[in-house]
């Protein structure tokens, strides 16, 4: 039996825990089974949103804790903790992703349509070509520079910095679509980011969102070994209900893409659709 929830303890080194990013509430409940080391995952006692209470600053994520620095160390740690069957399953999944590359691009074209697309948290992987015109935002300085060179050759550009800030550098209605594939869980100010997406999209434009599914049955069974936990770069943990609430509050229509298997899926896939002008 897991330990009962408890009031959250003070953050390390005397730093304060952040209020709930969803509602601003400060009545926080500790989730020990979801936490690790000094990283404290908690639930808001007012609205129920789950998040990392003591994230690090953007500046540290640009270099010291940049994704390309932490990913391989975390991947190696998880590989060592897996049994042989889980390691084999991970290799099979990786092979499947590579084999389905073209099919995934066709799927994105079907969901989003052609035109200018903004890939937020793109890293240095530019996955979009014609009929898309790729643009990006990337926090890591090194990865943003690599992506920018490729995107400029395809008619776009990549801006370096926090998504919730840099998205306002483009004109209103500039993009036909937005890609947030494994990004929104990283963004400490996701309400501002979603507001920026609404502004940056043309009327009727769509944003694709993929985030870990905190309501998945596998998460409940796995504790802090769940693949959706990454410390300290995952700072928000959405359920289908809390993601819908955030998206609709920003002014979008919400559509769950993987509705048929949502409770068995470790990820939520959804569309945020900007209303057409009347």
Question: Which domains, from first to last, does the chain contain?
Answer: 6-52 (no CATH), 102-216+229-273 (3.40.50.150)
Q: Is the pLDDT of residue 140 over 60?
A: yes
Determine the Cα–Cα distance for residues 81 and 121; give it in Å rounded to an integer.
Answer: 28
Q: Is the pLDDT of residue 83 over 90?
A: no
Model confidence at 104, in pLDDT bands (50, 70, 90)?
confident
Question: How much is the average pLDDT of 190-212?
Answer: 98
Q: Is the pLDDT of residue 6 over 80?
A: no
Determine the Cα–Cα distance for residues 35 and 224; give it in Å rounded to an integer.
Answer: 6
Q: Is the pLDDT of residue 266 over 90?
A: yes
166 vs 232, residue with greater confidence: 166
Look at residue 14 in the predicted model and tell me its pLDDT.
38
Non-local (6+) Cβ contacts of 202 within 8 A are 173, 174, 175, 176, 274
273 vs 80, residue with greater confidence: 273
Determine the Cα–Cα distance for residues 198 and 189; give it in Å rounded to an integer.
Answer: 15
Question: How much is the average pLDDT of 189-207?
Answer: 98
Three-state SS for 193-208 is HHHHHHHHEEEEEEEE
Non-local (6+) Cβ contacts of 164 within 8 A are 187, 188, 189, 190, 192, 193, 196
Cα separations in angstroms, 247 against 173, 203, 254, 270: 18, 16, 6, 10
Contact status, residue 158 vs residue 138, Cβ threshold 8 Å:
yes
HSE-CB at 142 with a 13 A cutoff on CA atoms is 8
Look at residue 277 in the predicted model and tell me its pLDDT.
78
């Amino acid at each position: 039996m897991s330990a009962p929830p408890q009031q959250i303890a003070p953050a390390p080194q005397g730093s304060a825990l952040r209020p709930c990013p969803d509602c601003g509430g400060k009545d926080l409940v500790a989730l020990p089974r979801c936490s690790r080391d000094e990283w404290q995952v908690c639930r808001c006692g007012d609205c129920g949103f789950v998040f990392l209470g003591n994230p690090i600053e953007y500046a540290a994520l640009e270099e010291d804790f940049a994704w390309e620095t932490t990913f391989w160390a975390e991947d190696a740690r998880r590989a060592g903790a897996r049994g042989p069957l889980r390691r084999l399953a991970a290799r099979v999944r990786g092979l499947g992703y590579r084999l389905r590359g073209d099919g995934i691009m066709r799927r994105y074209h079907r969901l989003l349509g052609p035109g200018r697309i903004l890939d937020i948290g793109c890293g240095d992987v530019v996955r979009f070509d014609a009929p898309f015109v790729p643009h990006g935002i990337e926090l890591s300085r090194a990865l943003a520079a690599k992506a920018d060179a490729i995107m400029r050759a395809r008619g776009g550009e990549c801006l370096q910095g926090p998504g919730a800030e840099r998205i306002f550098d483009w004109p209103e209605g500039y993009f036909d679509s937005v890609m947030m594939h494994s990004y929104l869980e990283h963004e400490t100010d996701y309400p501002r980011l979603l507001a920026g997406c609404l502004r940056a999209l043309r009327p009727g434009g769509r944003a694709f969102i993929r985030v870990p599914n905190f309501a998945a049955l596998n998460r409940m069974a796995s504790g802090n070994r769940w693949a959706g936990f990454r410390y300290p770069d995952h700072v928000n943990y959405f359920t289908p209900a809390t993601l819908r609430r955030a998206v609709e509050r920003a002014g979008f229509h919400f559509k769950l893409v993987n509705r048929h298997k949502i409770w068995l899926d470790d990820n939520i896939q959804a569309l945020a659709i900007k209303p057409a002008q009347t």
